[in-house]
Structure formats: structure tokens, C-alpha cells
Chains A and B, each alone.
Chain A
């Protein structure tokens, strides 16, 4: 189950610059820490984030172990057409967590 907080406007004027913010609940375990009995805790991070607007990629990022838990990304885009803004976070576990939000451009 994806636990994410998405903040993007519901409506925008054509040509307007909108800010999109996305935060995913994730421990971002670095792989450098040790747990009980000094055993290394295996690395488990989100390593790739992609945001698409109606299927077209508008922003992506590679993430690394130094990024804190619950990675938070904020970026801007120019509103061109109504549709779906989709978010995908891919982790070391190979799983992709997704979320999406609708926007109406007038």
C-alpha cells in the first residue's frame, strides 16, 4: 500500500506554473547501520522517482542512501492540459509504489 502525501493544485490556468510536492512514507534504510548483535541492516531505499503528466514524464530523480526517511520532492511544471499527474517510486525491493492526482487546466 502506498502511503504518500501529494500536494498539487486541482485547477490551473493554461500556461501557469504549478508547484507539485510529493512525500512518500519510507524508512530509506541506508545499509550502513547495524541492528541487534551488530548485524548489518540491509539497504532498503527508494532509488527512482518519476512523475508523469498524462503519461509524459515531467520530472524524475535518482535517490541515494544519504536521502532522509520519507523522501520529499517539490518541483514545478507548466500546466498545459487537463488530466492525470501520476507518481511512481521504485525501491531496492523492486516494487513500484504509485499515486496519482487529477488536475483541470482551463
Chain B
């Protein structure tokens, strides 16, 4: 048992650093370091750079274009990527639908979809939640009725993150009859967003951004060949995907980077003739978050180490999601607290790339409260933290 990097791992770390140093666009990293979302163009440009290097899909099997990295290499990559301010890749394609396609899709589907995902030619979004199906996802009502070689899809999906950019959507739809058990009546469909009958309407969140959408389906015709796997087996595939989704949601490296920035900023924030970083009450709060994050880092490393020995990411990933999001939200709040009065002004235009007006408030302050409001979503999405707790009770404690 030891935590030292081997010679090869140190060499890999050097290679990662050199790559990020040389290839990461400065404007993109500046934005990421301020906690802002890069534009669609900036994101796609970066993902294409990653693909050129062969590092777009560390989570994929090597035969489909994965990197073959072990858990330590992935840890190094995440740590360095975050420290340099490189954007996280958009998860919907490469991390969410792709594992379902290469695990449960047929050969033709793999050939058709995977290359465009790894090359970032196609932007995917997720069609799971519905206005009346949140935590109880299996109660979804968007229906797909077969008509010849097509399904005809009707219904509404919601909380569709960045659906406004998307070319394709992967959906859970109900194909079984009303008398069938929900979990055995759902299929997994891939739908081209340009198909007639689809409309996307934005939902504005508490930070004023249209990050999510409602997607309406009105007699949308989808070829049956776009169904992944068997009819009415979609729930199984989705559950598999959810476990994959959760392993990334701890965002340990991101939280570490944010805490480092917070501590540096607190050392330059006035506090009654002293600096905030010297205030014992503040120190105590920051230390507690930092310690929790340190523990979580090792919980994640332990989980990754288990996965690399061949085990699937199991119910432990629920714990990573749960504590990871709690830590993220604790940092959100510390940022607001540090901003003091400058947590109040809402001047979103000064966060734009082309803003050249007067800046209101110090660095990190302008977006502190909007980010805090927005990120209350973290403990709700991906299966709310209460759902994760239920999973721990059932799958780990046998309750």
C-alpha cells in the first residue's frame, strides 16, 4: 500500500502537463478558472484537440478509441486537466450514450454513432426526466408506438441540459402496454433533433441562464433501427448508464481547484483590518470542507482502484455523487460568503467574453451568488441525493 507515483506515472504526468501547456486555448482556460461555462464553439474546439491527441474518451474500451489508462493515470489526467483550467468534456455523448451504444448497441449502430461522438461532430443531449417523472423516473409517459418501420413518439422531456445545442437526443420512451410494469415497458431510443415534430423551449434557472430545456415530441417518426437493444429493456440499459454517470459526478479535482482559488482569494480579502484567511471561524469552516474533500478523494481512488481490477462501479458510486455534490455546494456557499457585499450585484454581462465595461466587485465575486443558486441542482440531478441514499440502503446495507 503506497501513494507514490511510479516512474511511468511521473512520465505520464509530464506528458499531460506538456500537452495542456501547448494545446489548451488561453481564453477557454481563463473562463473555466472563473467557474464559467465555455461557449459551444470553445468546447467543441477543445474536444477536437483532445481527439487529435487520442485522449477524448478515457472511459471507453481501447478497441473503440479509449486510452487504456489505469485508475492512477485517470486520476493524474483529471487533476492536471482541472489545474490547467481545461473544460470537462460534455458528458452526454462520450460518457453517457456511448457506453450504452458500445455495450448494448448492434454493430451498425456502433459504426454509425461512435466515430461522430469521439470526433465531437455531433452534440448529444439526454431525454430522461419528464414534467411528471422526476425521481420516479420509471413512471415516464413519453410514448413510442410502432407504425411500420418507425416508432411514433409523443410526449415531453424536461431538464434537457444544453438541448439548444444538441444534434441528437437519447431518450427513454414507453413502448409497453399500460398493464406492464414500468421498468419492463421502457425502450432506449436515439432521435435526430432535426426530425419534424420536435420543439425545444428554454427553461431559465435561478442564475438567469437557459441551461436546460423542455423538449416536446409531437408525432415524431423515429426509425425502429434507432432503438438500442431489445424493446422494453431500456430501463436496464439506463440503470447501467446511471452508474457510469455517477462515478464522474464527485468532481474531486474540480473542487480541489476551487478550494485552492478560494483560499488564495481569502488571503487578499480584507476583514476588519486583517485578512479573511486569518479569521479563525472562517479557517475552521474551510478546513472542514477541505478535509471532507481529502477523504472523498481517497474514497474515489479506492473505488477507481476496485473498478480497474475488473469490478463494475457499484452502489459506492452513489456515495461519491452524494458527498461530492455536498462538497461542491459547500464551496459555492463559501464563495458567496467571501464576496460579502459584492455577492449582491447581479451584473451577468460582465461575465461575457466581449465585455469591456467597468467591472463591479473583485474576482470570483460576480458569479458567486448566481453559481450558488444554480448549483443547488447538483444534489437533485442524476438521481437526487435522497435517491442515492435509498440505493445505499438497499444495495449495500440490505435494508
- Same complex origin of A and B: no
